[in-house]
Amino acid sequence: MTDLTLTAPRNAISEVDPALLAAWLDARGEPAYRTSQVLAGAHLPTAASFDDLTDLPRALRADLGSAFDFSSVAGSHVLVADGGETAKAVHELADGQRVESVLMHYPARGRAAARTTICISSQAGCAVACPFCATGQAGFGRQLSPGEIVDQVLHWHRSPWLALGRDWRPGTRTGHYNIVFMGMGEPLNNADRVFEAVRLLNDPGRLGIGARHITVSTSGVVPGIDRMVDELPQVNLAISLHAADDDLRDELVPINRKWPIAAVLGAGRRFAGVTGRRVSLEYVLIDGVNDSLQQAARLADLAAGWLCHVNLIPLNPTPGSRWSGTAAASVSAFAASVRSAGVPVTIRDTRGREIEAACGQLHAQLAGRELPGRSDVRRAEVPVA
C-alpha cells in the first residue's frame, strides 16, 4: 500500500490504509470491526458525508470529519448529453486544480447487456502534448493522488446519473460497470498512484470493482506496460496508437520519439502473451491526416497475428483546431480495410459533442468559473427541462 500519513494535507477516506485507520480507531477505544464499517459506509452511494454513516456513534462521525476528508473533490460542475446517457464533470480539487470524468450508459444491444462506463483522469493536465488533444495543449499541472483518482468514481457512485443505468444499481452485479483510465493525463506517467487506485477500486471492502472491468490506457510508456504484466495482470490494457508509421506518430503522439511503435507494440505483445488478455489499439481518426487506406493497411499489418483488436475513434475536434474528425463513410471504409486482414475492429460511439466531452474541452470552457461546492453537487446535477 502507498505510505499515507494522517497529517496535513488530510487524506481522503477513499485512500486511507486500513491498518492506519484501524490504529486511529483503536486509539479512540473503538472495536476492531469499526474499520470495515467505516470503509464500507464511506463507499455507499447514499453517503454524502460522515454524518450519513448513521450506524456509527455521533461522536465518532464528528471525529472522522475532523481527521479525514470525505472526498478530495471540493466541487463539481456536471453537464448532460445524449438524452441522459452521457454526463461529464469537471472536478475542482483542494488546491484548485481541475480534472474531468465522464459517465456513459450503453443500452442493451442484441446479445450485449447494458453497461455503464466511467472514464477518469490520472493527472491534472498532461505532459505528452498530443496536438489534437485539448488536455495535451493545456500543459501539465501535477500528479493525482490515489484518493483523487478514486473520488472521481465515487462522485458518480453518489450521483443520480448513475441510477439512470437501465440494468445496473450500486451494490448489485447486474449489467456491467467499467472504469477506464482514459481521461486527463498519461496514467503510466503516474504509475505508482494509478496502480494503488486500481487496488483501492478493486478492494471488496470498498467498491469491489472487478479487475477485468478496469482498463488502463497509455500513449506508449513501455516500462509502465511491463509493470502491468507483473502487478496488474487482470486489468485491461489499451494503447493509444493513432498512427501506423513512426514519422506520423512522432507528430501525433510525441512520446513516440522515446518509445517508437515497435517498442510499444512489443510491450503490448508481451502483455497479451503473459496475461492472455486482449490489448486494445486505440486509433483516433483525423480527416486527411491518418485515415488513408494506406494507413489502414499498415495498421492491419501491425495488429495481425497477436491478441489485440483495433478501436477506431472519430476525432471530437477541439475549438479552433485545424483538424476535424473523419467522415462516417471514410471511417467505415477504414474499418473494412483493417477487418479484411482478419483483425477485429470496433468503432467507438461518439458521445457528448454538445457538452465538450472530448478530453480537456469542458475544463477549458469552464476556466475561471467557480464550481458548485460539495453541498451544492446534488442540486447542480438535477436535470434541467
- Rounded alpha-carbon distances, angstroms, from residue 288 to 183, 221, 362: 25, 27, 26
- Count Cα atoms within 13 angstroms, Cβ side, for 281: 30
Let me know: does 213 contact 233? Beta carbons within 8 Å: no
Cell numbers that stand for 91 in this block: 472536478
Q: Which residues contact 46 (CB under 8 A, 6 or more apart)?
A: 52, 158
Catalytic residue, from 92, 100, 356, 381: name it: 100
* Region class of 188: left (phi > 0), else alpha (psi between -120 and 50), else beta: alpha
100 among known catalytic residues: yes
Would you call 359 a catalytic residue per the annotation? yes
Catalytic position from the list 126, 133, 308, 359: 359
Beta bridge partners of 102: 88, 119
Q: Going by C-beta distance under 8 Å and a sequence separation of 6 or more, which residues neighbour residue 369? A: 77
Burial per residue of 75-100, b for 16 or more beta-carbon CB atoms within 10 angstroms, e otherwise? bbbbbbbbeebbbbbbbbbeeeebbb
Task: Give catalytic residue positions.
Answer: 100, 359
